[in-house]
Structure 1
Amino acid sequence: MSRHGRGPAVPICRVLRDAVGVVTDRELEEAITRVHRQEWARVVAGLTRRFGDLDIAEDAAAEAFSLAVERWARDGIPPHPGGWLTTTATRKAIDRIRRESRRDAKHQEALMVTDDSRPDPVGPIEDDRLRLIFTCCHPALAMEARVALTLRLLGGLTVAQIAHAFLVRETALAQRITRAKAKIKTAHIPYRVPLEQDLRVRLAGVLAVVYLIFNEGYLASQGDDPLRVELTDEAIRLGRLLHELLPDEGEVTGLLALMLLTDARRAARVSRTGELVTLDEQDRGAWDRALIAEGASLVAEAGSAVAGAGSVGRFQLLAAINSVHTAAPSVRDTDWSRIVRLYDGLVTIDPSPIVRLNRAVAVAEVDGPAVGFAEVERLAEPLSGYHALHATRADLLRRLGRSAEAGAAYDRAIALAGNAAERAYLSRRRGQLGG
């Protein structure tokens, strides 16, 4: 098993067949896949705490999962797969230390830190997986390194999978991960949850990484595949893990709600011909109502006084905005005034040009395209290279009857769009302008 391989996908169904405990190939594959999703992060995080080395932790976990495929096919799936994997991975880690001839103090240290008689820390804030998340998302690392490490060490995705999702070469991605691990070691980046006074600031960085992963999956920034489901699914899984570990953090709840409410529209997002379908044209009957209900419940959990902003965070406000969209039976029935108020609150804490652009779209629905267009024009300089700015200008100009200007704006948006589905949508809208 290579250092960056993932070990067979691993979770557990525990399908002991007949009296002899034989498992079919399909049952074994399903079990391994399920256990991998459930236990990979836990095993890697626990080994990292014990041995203080990300390479040892990752390699030993991968070896344990690989051995599970062989042993479980012969002996049946154990009653406690996570414990089996942790024990096996721990032995593999010690074997590696011995093989590398780092005996003496290093070997004795390994034997000491694997003493299972020591009680583990209690409480979600002390969970090893949470320590690992904050290590992978440390601000000393470049953002692309944080994303790669998070997907590799917490998600268990292979280097090949991550490279494919982000359209980079495997060798470059592997080097990125290797350099990030080396920096963690040489810079002595601590494997711990930040102190209380630093938690919120550091947590914001963690949530930004997860949301970046989700956005890249929900609408890829480049390439011919508009949706990369493996990334959206992984981001939501990480969001659920964070919510499980930090249930009282409103922004964690808000991010999970936002991702669920957005992902609920996935089936209606792209047409059969591969064209992006915007919110106003989507078949709302194709939306996932179970995800919408869960997301709406989380919005309520995060706090009902969202419109007042104040201490309410960015992801809580974005989730509330999406909750308004998904609650409306049609675009015409959308409470655009409430969405504008929510954006007003968001602008106070995140006055970025992109937030203001999205607010301008809502303003156009409330006060008309002329008012919305005036807001958009104020953003022309900071967002000159952003395709969504030109797409928004084009739509508002079309609604104002300024077809020639709209055509030029569509042309600019098409030239800047990196996603084939977006280009197809914009080209169709451009063609509808006629001469």
Structure 2
Amino acid sequence: MPDRIEVDGVDEGALRALVPRVLAGLVRRGEDFNAAEDALQAALLDALRVWPTQPPRDPRAWLTTVATRRLVDARRGQTARQRREDAVLSDPRLSDPSLSDPAQGATEEGDDTLFLLFLCCHPDLSPTSQVALTLRAVGGLTTREIADAFYVPEATMAQRISRAKRTLHGRRLDRPGDLAVVLRVLYLIYTTGHGSRVDLTGEAIRLARQLTLATDEPEARGLLALMLLNHARLPARLDADGRIVTLDRQDRRLWDTRQIAEGVRVLQSALAVQTDDRPPGRYQIEAAIAALHDDATSAEETDWPQILAWYDDLVALTADPFRDDPAAVLGRAVAVGHVLGPAAGLRETDRLRETIGDRHRWHAVRGHLHQLAGDTTAAAGAYAEAAHRATDVAERDHLIRLAARARASTISNDER
């Protein structure tokens, strides 16, 4: 797609929103993904020329029709498809570029978008390609915006997207990614969005909302709830200078209470359909933990025993969580520290020393637990080591401040 769409008298945002719907409609009827996107790009360029003087009554139908004609033109000379070309060209709706009537049998817009979302999560694509193609084809982001979100050069992202489309070229797209893959891709888009220059978090939530309308799978609602409950705390995550504020120090008056209430309702609807034979999945459990944090009016009122119980369920989902899900084990170690004491929490982290002892989050969690125990000297050392290993600048600066604060507490205690 063109990196910028500028049409006099046409809302650029509305035009962008049309792109995934038209593309999905073309692919759904059997067009090659790459060829369909090229045809749609040509149709958008035609729109730049025609719409200022001949605005269509139905822009989506106009783009679909013109893109279809481009596809037909591209297939000329291919004998095997001549019969199909003749049938399409005989359609009177293709005779007028300013056509405004929608194509008969067009699928619902939401279904088309979701269809495209599942195709972008095709099992033959790598996770990075799935994310990039989803943002490009479904989210309507430009290549430059996606590159900015992932802090890579635009040329690198363009190559990544091109490789993804080449992978799908000429294949029958009858093996779209399964729901678990789609959920993982959406969550990766959401988590990446927190540190990006593009609003990927909002885009991930928008797509998750559409997904919950199309499936009764509780995990889809669990993911939406998790996003909403975490996103509600966004206004309090940074101070006036753009520095990270940890959960226990956030001004909870800044949290979005309406988003929290919605997240809780969505989570409850997911948990209501669970049975002993079908226990809650990862996203529902993580959403339940987030809901307990959001429900506390202060850090001191956090229901840590209930959080620990949910973490027990979370680590039980994995056969070997110490190797395959160390983040969940680290989260549980923090909960253990608050419920059973910092020493017990530290013992939990010791069990992870061989698997992730070289990662900054392991040291950061130990710093928190040492601080909880009142050992500010050990806390300062752990935070400093975490800062040394951190790669994100904002997180590294935050850990440096925590180390300095712990050292200051040590000095203050020594002077008493």
| TM-score normalized with structure 2 length | 0.85
Q: What CA distance in whole angstroms lies between the structure 1 residues aligned with 2:197 and 2:342?
A: 33
Residue of structure 2 aligned with 1:145, choices 126, 129, 137: 129
Hey, what does 1:48 align to over in structure 2?
A: 27
Relative contact order higher in (CA < 8 Å, ≥ 6 apart): 1
How far has the Cα of 1:79 moved from its partner?
A: 4.2
Contact preservation (8 Å) 1:7, 1:66 = no
Hey, what does 2:368 align to over in structure 1?
A: 395
Residue type of the alignment partner of 2:142: T
- Give yes or no for the alignment of 1:345 onto 2:313: yes
- Aligned-residue RMSD, C-alpha: 2.8
Q: What CA distance in whole angstroms lies between the structure 1 residues aligned with 2:347 and 2:85?
A: 65
Contact preservation (8 Å) 1:240, 1:256 = yes
Hey, what does 2:36 align to over in structure 1?
A: 57
Hey, what does 2:164 align to over in structure 1?
A: 180
Contact preservation (8 Å) 1:152, 1:158 = yes
Contact preservation (8 Å) 1:213, 1:231 = yes
Residue type of the alignment partner of 1:62: Q
- Give yes or no for the alignment of 1:136 onto 2:130: no
Q: What CA distance in whole angstroms lies between the structure 2 residues aligned with 1:9 and 1:293?
A: 39
Hey, what does 1:411 align to over in structure 2?
A: 384
Q: What CA distance in whole angstroms lies between the structure 2 residues aligned with 1:92 and 1:123?
A: 22
Q: What CA distance in whole angstroms lies between the structure 2 residues aligned with 1:389 and 1:309?
A: 34
Residue type of the alignment partner of 1:90: T
How far has the Cα of 1:312 moved from its partner?
A: 1.5
- Give yes or no for the alignment of 1:32 onto 2:12: yes
How far has the Cα of 1:189 moved from its partner?
A: 5.5
Hey, what does 1:82 align to over in structure 2?
A: 60
Which protein is bigger by CA-based radius of gyration? 2
Q: Which runs of 5+ in 1 are unaligned?
A: 11-24, 195-201, 221-226
Q: What CA distance in whole angstroms lies between the structure 2 residues aligned with 1:208 and 1:96?
A: 36
Contact preservation (8 Å) 2:139, 2:203 = yes
Q: What CA distance in whole angstroms lies between the structure 1 residues aligned with 2:250 and 2:332?
A: 21
Q: Residue 308 and residue 413 in structure 1: after superposition, are their counterparts in 2 closer, same or farther (change >3 A)?
A: farther
Contact preservation (8 Å) 1:337, 1:366 = yes
1:25-424 alignment, distance < 5 Å = 28=9, 31-37=11-17, 39-76=18-55, 78-98=56-76, 102-110=77-85, 112=87, 119=105, 127-185=111-169, 188=171, 190-191=173-174, 202-218=178-194, 220=195, 227-246=196-215, 248-304=216-272, 310-350=278-318, 351=321, 352-424=325-397
Q: Secondary structure at the match of 2:12?
A: helix
Contact preservation (8 Å) 2:34, 2:169 = no
Q: Secondary structure at the match of 2:301?
A: coil
How far has the Cα of 1:306 moved from its partner?
A: 6.9
Q: Secondary structure at the match of 1:138?
A: coil
Q: Residue 375 and residue 130 in structure 1: after superposition, are their counterparts in 2 closer, same or farther (change >3 A)?
A: same
- Identity score, percent: 42
Residue type of the alignment partner of 1:168: V
Q: What CA distance in whole angstroms lies between the structure 1 residues aligned with 2:375 and 2:290?
A: 31
Q: Secondary structure at the match of 1:432?
A: helix
Q: Which runs of 5+ in 2 are unaligned?
A: 94-102, 412-416
Contact preservation (8 Å) 2:228, 2:260 = yes
- Can you list the C-alpha shifts for 1:248-304, whole angstroms capped at 9, x where unaligned? 111111111111111111111111222111111111111122221221111111124
Residue type of the alignment partner of 2:346: F
Q: Secondary structure at the match of 1:272?
A: coil
**Alignment length (residue pairs):** 392
Q: What CA distance in whole angstroms lies between the structure 1 residues aligned with 2:274 and 2:14?
A: 37
How far has the Cα of 1:52 moved from its partner?
A: 2.4
Hey, what does 2:414 align to over in structure 1?
A: none
Q: Secondary structure at the match of 2:354?
A: coil
Q: Secondary structure at the match of 2:253?
A: helix
Residue type of the alignment partner of 2:204: A
Q: What CA distance in whole angstroms lies between the structure 1 residues aligned with 2:105 and 2:86?
A: 16
- Can you list the C-alpha shifts for 1:11-41, whole angstroms capped at 9, x where unaligned? xxxxxxxxxxxxxx5xx35x2313423x222
Q: Residue 423 and residue 323 in structure 1: after superposition, are their counterparts in 2 closer, same or farther (change >3 A)?
A: same
Contact preservation (8 Å) 1:269, 1:278 = yes
- Can you list the C-alpha shifts for 1:47-93, whole angstroms capped at 9, x where unaligned? 112352112221222333344445443345x4433323322332333
Residue type of the alignment partner of 2:156: A
Q: What CA distance in whole angstroms lies between the structure 1 residues aligned with 2:355 and 2:151?
A: 27
Q: What CA distance in whole angstroms lies between the structure 1 residues aligned with 2:350 and 2:290?
A: 25
Greater Cα shift, 395-404 or 174-183? 395-404
Contact preservation (8 Å) 1:306, 1:316 = no
Q: Secondary structure at the match of 1:382?
A: helix
